Amino acid sequence: MIVRNLNDPEVLETTYRAHGGAVARMILDRRVLQEIGFLAVATLPPGNRIEAHVDPMEEIYFVMSGTGIMGVDGEEREVGPGDATWIPTGASHELRATGEAPCVILVVASDRF
């Protein structure tokens, strides 16, 4: 069994700036996963954005807290706690934090990259 906490050294060492606006950490990734690409958490400060980008894998963005505007291939929707957005492989996507608090998301990616 593998249990990871956001403050574990293995997680903290993966901290990076994600697509210009969020601070992200890989909770679980290919170092331990077999059929899932990764599970990450990203924190997007108020007013910041994850810039539009395309990834070579399917993803899900799950909003844990905060609010934002999620864009996928030109379609935009307001998102908040409990909302999950499916992002198909090759789709352009972005997220803009709109509230007064950070928008915190979990990102799950397929292993096709």
Is residue 30 in some structural domain? yes
Task: Supply the pLDDT for residue 113.
Answer: 53
pLDDT at 94 over 70: yes
Neighbours of 11 (CB within 10 A): 18
Task: Supply the pLDDT for residue 112.
Answer: 66
Is residue 76 in some structural domain? yes
Is residue 86 in some structural domain? yes
Distance between CA atoms of 4 and 87, rounded to whole angstroms? 25
> In a 3-state reduction of DSSP, which class is residue 60?
strand
Confidence of residue 105 (pLDDT cuts 50, 70, 90): very high
Query: What does DSSP assign to residue 34?
Result: S
Distance between CA atoms of 94 and 55, rounded to whole angstroms? 11
Sign of the torsion angle spanned by Cα atoms 102, 80, 50, 69: negative
**Which domain range does residue 79 map to?**
9-110
Is residue 80 in some structural domain? yes
- Kindly state the tokens that stand for 111: 């292993």
Is residue 4 in some structural domain? no
Task: Supply the pLDDT for residue 1.
Answer: 93
Is residue 21 in some structural domain? yes
Is residue 68 in some structural domain? yes
22-81 pLDDT, tens per residue?
A: 999 999 998 889 889 999 999 999 999 999 999 999 999 999 999 999 999 999 999 999
Q: CATH no. for residue 77?
A: 2.60.120.10
